[in-house]
Each structure stands twice: as structure tokens, then as C-alpha cells.
Amino acid sequence: MHFGGVYVLILDGMGVGQAPDAARYGDEGSDTLAHVLTAARCELPVLARLGLGNLYVQPLPGLPRAARPEALCCRLTETSAGKDSTTGHWELLGVVRTEPAPVFPSGFPADFLSEFSERVGRGVLGNRPASGTAIIAELGAEHLATGSLIVYTSADSVFQIAAHVDRVPLSELYRSCETARAMLTGSLAVDRVIARPFTGNAESGFSRTADRRDYSLEPPEPTVLDELCAAGLDVIGVGKIEDLFAGRGLTRSLPVHGNRELMLQVSELARARREGSHSAEQPWRGLVICNLVDFDMLYGHRNNPAGYGEALTAFDRWLGGFLGGMREDELLLITADHGNDPTTPSTDHSREQVPLLLAGPAIRARGGGGVLDPPPGFHHVGATVAAALGIATRRPGLDLLDAGMEVTQ
């Protein structure tokens, strides 16, 4: 089955139950979707119709099992070491990491911070794992008084720099992140350096702005995105995709922010492709890949299941309209990169399985969907995308549209 347009929507942090090795990561019992639906009591009729609820033996609140699922559905189990966004996205597109990225639960080495401070000309505050909003609330006033940068990390492989926009201009904050990125090599080679600008004051409170910027490592091997570009296809990244792949493997990047704007951008790209096919304008042909960041950033990391549920409800409502407008030569994949259970005490990612839904007119035309049971690996997503677009990939994974696996209800 070959398609002219493929859409991959990554619901950031939307796990569907603990991975087999969750205990190694301290994540036993995590189940982002089930716990959110139990706490938030929202209704997801479109995702239910596709068959997302069929991944569970017992029906979830607001997500009943479908008698005849409209999508092919499965759980994916990560084989890479780690539970961070970079690792998850890289494996989705065919690069499996055998060694975990470095993390710094006790903060970064003093000699590194001393050299970093000297290079950027500012002191450093913090240097420990922390919630971004919490450490800004704690150290924001001191930062304003001293001009020292707030540095922190998390359970992920990240070096984050927070600075008030009135104390440190954005351009300087970005340069400081570029300096850190160049220095963080070898055993210090974290996946991402992240600029975290914020505004406000100690009296009224501080809040982060939308001017976040990520500085990522490049994947160590070509991804499916690189292969699609080499084949002359359009590869359009929406949201933070460019950041996670260090700008590689994309013909176009649209770095919009927030789920609402991200969904609107995907809808606009779909409209442009459909209308372009009926005009003199050449429509894009290839892949649109989008990360819907709010689930993770605004709700998972902030232990807010109610907000998470509202975001899922909004996505479900948008999804119904998007599916209704799909052409017969289009395929939609919905998946995730890790879990982020907002009902646990932790504010970090959780080592969970993630869902994969394959949907669109072609799936319905072949008799509908059902549940698959693929072998471990997020990389089946990349392999399926490559096959759907007619590309022979060198990356691992199965084409789940043609894998010959039994489909159950």
C-alpha cells in the first residue's frame, strides 16, 4: 500500500502502561492514559472508534472498546535505553540506542560549570535536578538580583538554562546555550541543551515564555527522515521535531508552539495538499511529522491529570474533523515517545509502552482495523512510514501494514 501523504502525530508523553523493564527506571505501575482517564473522566469518542480502548482488557472511563475498530492498533515497547524524548523520537525513526544518554542526578561537574561560567561571563545558580517552574520560583529573585544563570537538569539527559528576559536578553541566552552545547561532549554529551526564558517577578510570580529553544545532538546514524529526503520526498517537521533531530532529515520546519496551533498547522498542511492537487500548484508529497507537546510539557511534568484530560478531549475533537477530510491516498499514524504519568509523585517521564494507531480511508477500505501484537521496538513506525511512501529503508522495523501478523479485536 503506497500513499502520497503520510501524517505522524506524536502525543508527547502519552504512555499506555508500564514497559516490561519499568522497575529498572522506578516506574512500576505507571499508566498515563488509564490514570488520566480515571482521574479526569473525559470522553474520547473518536479515539474509541479507532480502537485505542482495545489495547486494554477492561474498558477505560470515556474510552470503551470498539466492536469493529477503524484503525490498526498496537502497543509499542521501546528497545533503546532511556525514557527521554530524544531517545524515543530517534527510535521511532529507526535509530536504536544501546547505551543510555548521560544524566546528572547530582548536578553537573564543578569544573565544567566553572569553565562555562567563565566563557559566558555570568555566574550559575541551581545545578540540580528540578521542575522548571519550581526552580524558577525558588531562584528567580536571586537571578534578577545577581544576573547569574539558573542551571538545572532532570531525569532526562538535559542541560537547561533559565533566564529572565529583562535580565538576560534572548540573544544572550541563546548564545549561552550554544556555548554549553559546544562544551558538552564525551561523557558530558547530554541529548539536549534547552533555553528556558521567563518573565514576571517574585511578587506576582514567574512564568516561562514560548521562546524556548532546544540544541540537540545529531542522531549518530541516518534516520528514516534522512532516507525520505534522499529519495526526494517532502519531510515537514511541525513543532519541536527540528530540535529533536538537530535540524536533520527535514525539507521544511514549522516551529509553532502549543497543541492548538500545532493541530491547526497540520490541518493547514493537509488542506494545502488536497487543494494543491486540484490546481496548478504542486502539492507536497511525503511526510508531515508533528510533536504535540502540551500533554508532556504542561500536564505530565506538572502532575495535572485534569489538564491532561482536557487536552486529550480537544485532540479527540480535532481528530474527528481531520479524519473526515483525509484523502484515499493519505495515512495517519498516532503514537507517542514515552509516558509521563501525571498521577505519580514524580514529575519526570515514565518508562511505558506507547500506542500506535494506523488510520485513514485505506484502512477502512480493507475491512477495518484491529489489534496487532508486534515484536518490541518503536522503530516499526519508521519502517511503516518508509514502506507507505514506497521507500526501501535500511533502518530496522516491520511494515505493520504488511507484516502478516494476526489481527484481533
Joined together, the cell numbers standing for residue 36 give 488520566
Q: Checking DSSP bridges between strand 354-359 and strand 330-335, what pairing results, if any? A: antiparallel
Instruction: Give residue 155's pLDDT band: very low, low, confident or very high (50, 70, 90).
Output: confident
Q: How far is CA 136 from the centre of its chain?
A: 24
- pLDDT at position 43 is 97
Give CA separation, 325 vs 44, 268, 269, 275, 360, in Å: 19, 12, 12, 12, 10
- Indicate if 27 and 57 belong to the same structural domain: yes
Q: How would residue 233 be classed by pLDDT, with cut points 50, 70 and 90?
A: very high
Q: Where are the extended beta strands (E) located within 260-318? A: 286-292
Three cell numbers written together for 217? 545532538
pLDDT digits (tens, 9 = 90+) for 326-350: 999 999 999 999 999 999 999 889 9
Q: What is the pLDDT of residue 277?
A: 55
Query: Which residues on neighbouring strands pair with residue 350, listed in sequence order?
Result: 339
Whole-number percent of the chain with pLDDT over 70: 99
Q: Check residue 281 and give its pLDDT.
A: 57
Task: Check pLDDT > 80 for residue 404.
Answer: no
- For residues 122 and 80, membership in a common domain is answered with no
Residues 224 and 204 in one domain: no
Amino acid at residue number 148: S
CATH number at residue 121: 3.30.70.1250
- Is 397 domain-assigned? no
In a domain, 303, yes or no: yes
Closest of 164, 161, 74, 125 to residue 375, by C-alpha = 74
Give the percent of the chain with pLDDT over 90: 88
pLDDT in tens, 65-102: 999 999 999 999 999 998 999 999 999 999 999 888 89
Is residue 249 located within the same domain as residue 371?
A: yes
**Among 34, 322, 337, which Cα is nearest to 191's?**
337
pLDDT at 199 over 80: yes
Instruction: Specify the pLDDT at position 368.
Output: 79
Q: Which CATH number is 346's domain given?
A: 3.40.720.10
- pLDDT interval class at 407 (50, 70, 90): confident
Domain that holds residue 308: 5-95+219-388
Residue 71: the pLDDT is 97
Task: Check whether residue 246 and residue 377 sit in a common domain.
Answer: yes
Q: pLDDT tens, 280-310?
A: 456 899 999 999 999 999 999 999 999 999 9
Q: For the segment 123-148, what is each residue's pLDDT rounded down to a tens digit? A: 999 999 998 999 999 999 999 999 99
**Predicted pLDDT at 279:** 47
How many Cβ atoms from other residues are within 10 Å of residue 260's Cβ? 15
pLDDT of residue 366: 83
Same-domain status, 137 and 190: yes
Tell me phi and psi for residue 261, to 5 degrees: -65, -35
The closest of 154, 152, 158, 161 to 127, measured between CA atoms, is 152
192 and 228 together in one domain: no
Share the mean pLDDT of the chain: 95
Q: Residue 356 in 3-state DSSP?
A: strand
Higher pLDDT, 26 or 156: 26
Domain count, the chain: 2
Q: What is the pLDDT of residues 176-194, one digit of tens each?
A: 999 999 999 999 999 999 9
Position 42 pLDDT exceeds 90:
yes
